[in-house]
Structure 1
Amino acid sequence: MDMSQTKTPVQPVDAAPDSAVSTRNISKTYGAVEALRDLSLEFPRGQLTSLLGPSGCGKTTLLKIIAGLLEPTSGTVEVNGKTVTGPGPDRAFVFQDFALLPWATVLRNAAFGLEMRGVARAEREDRAAHYIKEVGLSGFENAYPHELSGGMRQRVGLARALAVDAQVLLMDEPFSAVDEQTRRKFQEDLLNLVRNENKTFIFVTHSIEEAVYVSDQIAILLPRPSRVSEIIRPTGFRGKGVDNIRRDPEYLDIVDEIWASLRSYVE
């Protein structure tokens, strides 16, 4: 396959398209372990970028640095041109393990970020109820987490992240704990959210197929110390409808190409 239309070399920071998030020369060490080395990457505004690479390559570390939950050893992160110095209202995190309050209803869990910001109860519940509906949980507003399936709990976490109206959503393998059927439905819903919400999504996944299916841009990371190996921007099957993507020749070829480039790093 000629990848010239879908694969581009890593571009200099100032040559990238309009970016919501810029990571510039990020390095991170934990004692003697060098997790990230001089990593620079642009995240286009209003698009979904997946971070893909072998286990332990620093995907979650990079995500937490962008979130402001970890401080880089060197380098900077900018969100809308402002340097990140810690967590902020411009970013929201969707955790792999749901991170719900067990004693709170679906409605209160979805509104919790707004509650922490001091938003009035009526306003925060209105906004939370809107996103509960958006993620397909209408009718469960008064349920508690223990009454929900894993997939439903993850939808609550997504509704909470959307409700705070952050410009950047950071998603750390959010679908890994659900069954394959639920995961496929989540992927379809995510494509609709990217199209409708006008937010920038940064998505960590171990799944090549998932990354190609949901992404406007895929950044492939090398084993630690992690750097960006290449950037792939699937284009040909966008806009064809979610039912057609997995049968598209470009989708299948890109999946094979990425696997060929990562195979040597899998133990």
Structure 2
Amino acid sequence: MSMQQTAAVLDRSQTDAAVAVRGVTKIYEGNVKALENMTLDFPRGQLTSLLGPSGCGKTTLLKIIAGLIPATGGEVLVNGRAVKGPGRDRAFVFQDFALMPWATVLRNVGFGLELRGVPQSEREAVSERYIKAVGLSGFEQSFPHQLSGGMRQRVGLARALAVDADVLLMDEPFSAVDEQNRRKFQEDMLALVEQEKKTFIFVTHSIEEAVYVSDKVAVLLPRPSRVSEVIEPKIDRSVSPDAMRRDPDYLDTVERIWTALRTYVE
């Protein structure tokens, strides 16, 4: 391949990747190496899950992409621009909801827009749209303490969607809800990825969840974390949720990932 052809391939790869992680290393105090030379692309408009053993650096990588903590080495590019800190092109959905207890659902969802100085009428219209999108219509004037854990998580998701970031970073967003709500969230997530055309980066401990919701699953090795492999589940998403969960390709992919991770589970 000529130098010109190689350059064209690289340019195309950068264009297709909304987020590009390039040789990222993270060393914490005490010489604890969480990530080592991590390189990974996150395709635009798709959902990619980060999956691996506990403590393997999934959340660390997510926070580096968000600009919440710095990398020790390497770089992260979002839409071709190096990450130097938090930015409007990324929104974070926290595991613990991180809602303002004194604010209504409507204000919580619109808070990011409020910080940007968006007029009240405009931000409330946007907030109402995403409150409906996550299935919370009728709860606009409720406060977080009046909601279930699953409903509070939906508020956090709606808030992230409302700021219209290109990339949504989700740190185990469904871990605090019961199994029934978790399955419903997974089904809703597929619809949101299709509707919003945004890039989702999704941290989970659940192999089944990762395979069900993801266009790609990045399997990470134990600390210091590197990418073991990237798997693209080949599931027919035109069928019903129940049929998807019985799909032989779904079941085979779950088993393939479990086999790869089994030796790292204590």
TM-score by length of 2: 0.94
Measured against aligned partners, the alpha-carbon deviations of 1:74-97 in whole angstroms (never above 9, x if no partner) come to 011001101110000000000000
Residue aligning to 1:19: 17
Report the equivalent of 1:140: 139
- Structure 1: how far apart are the matches of 2:12 and 2:163? 31
Q: Which residue pairs with 1:200 in the alignment? A: 199
Q: Does 176-185 or 112-121 show the bigger shift?
A: 112-121
Deviation string 1:137-190 (CA, Å, 9 cap, x unpaired) is 000000000000000000000000000000100000000000000000000000
Deviation by residue 1:118-137 (Cα, 9 ceiling, x = unmatched): 11111111100100000000
Amino acid at match of 1:263: R
**CA 1:13 to 1:210, structure 2 compared with 1: closer, same or farther past 3 Å?**
farther
- 1:227 matches 2:188: no
Matches of 1:130 and 1:159 in 2, distance apart? 9
1 CA distance for matches of 2:74 and 2:133? 37
Q: Does 1:85 align with 2:84?
A: yes
Q: Per-residue displacement from partner, 1:59-108 (whole Å, max 9, x unpaired)?
A: 00000000000100001100110111000000000000000000000000
Change (3 A) 1:72 1:116: same
Q: Which residue of 2 aligns with 1:177?
A: 176
How has the CA–CA distance of structure 1 residues 141 and 236 changed in structure 2, closer, same or farther, with 3 Å as cutoff? closer
Aligned match of 2:6:
none
1:3 alignment counterpart: none
Q: Which moved more, 1:228-237 or 1:50-59?
A: 228-237
What stretches of structure 1 of length at least 5 have no aligned partner? Answer: 1-11
Q: CA RMSD in A?
A: 1.3
Q: Deviations over 1:187-214 (max 9, x none)?
A: 0000000011000000000000000000
Letter in 2 for 1:240: V
> Map of 1:246-257 to 2, 5 A cutoff?
246-257=245-256
Q: 1:29 to 1:15 in 2, by over 3 A?
A: farther
Unaligned runs of 5+ in 2: 1-8
What stretches of structure 1 move > 4 A for 4+ residues in a row? Answer: 12-17
Number of residue-to-residue matches in the alignment: 256
Identical columns (%): 71
Deviation at 1:241, TM superposition (A): 3.9
SS at match of 2:242: coil
Q: How far is 1:240 from its partner?
A: 3.0
Q: 2 CA distance for matches of 1:15 and 1:124? A: 36
TM-score by structure 1 length? 0.93
SS in 2 for 1:25: strand
SS of the aligned residue for 2:121 comes to: helix
Q: Residue 244 of structure 1 aligns to a residue in which SS? A: helix
Are positions 1:158 and 2:138 aligned together? no
